[in-house]
Amino acid sequence: MKYMLQGPGRCGKETVGKIMNQYFGLTCIASSLAASESVIFPLLKKTYGYATAKECYEDRLNHRQEWKEIISRYNKDDPCKLGDYIYGNYDAYDGCRSRREFDAICAKWQPVTIWIDASRRKTDLEDPTLEMDMFDCSYCIDNNSTEENLKFEVITLFHRTLMAPFVSHTENAEPEIT
């Protein structure tokens, strides 16, 4: 099963990915991190004077629109190109920004889509580069409280819904006749 974490920048997608790894052994990578070393850093290193791919990645919030445009050009001929790389190597994709790419990846990979909502806790989450909203996702995780509560939200979602097909339910089973 594949997962896609959605929401504006800084809403907690990376933290949710870490929780998924810690409790369920799932791997997750941000789309911008996946694209930074091979695609973005080589294009922007001279423009902004980056010495390393890590420095480039850490400055991404100052150039979000530019990063989105570079990733869109990378995916121009195949809207699943970055998604194929991510899902070929990881369980979860953190942060698809383009509607075209989101729709194509969802059609091809059928990931469980999870929106991370921090709208009541962080009021500065307006993100014009994000073309989807919470109604495009199958599930929504509330990240408007503490990190402990977020951990509870993630674990509860996985246990009650996402892990359900893998758990044997015996309460509705026929009684054994001896």
| Domains along the sequence of the chain with CATH | 3-166 (3.40.50.300)
92-94 sheet: strands from edge to edge: 28-30, 92-94, 3-6, 112-117, 139-142
- What pLDDT shows up at residue 174? 46
Kindly report the pTM of this predicted structure: 0.84
What does the pLDDT look like over 1-50, one tens digit per residue? 999 999 998 899 999 999 999 999 999 999 989 998 889 999 999 999 99
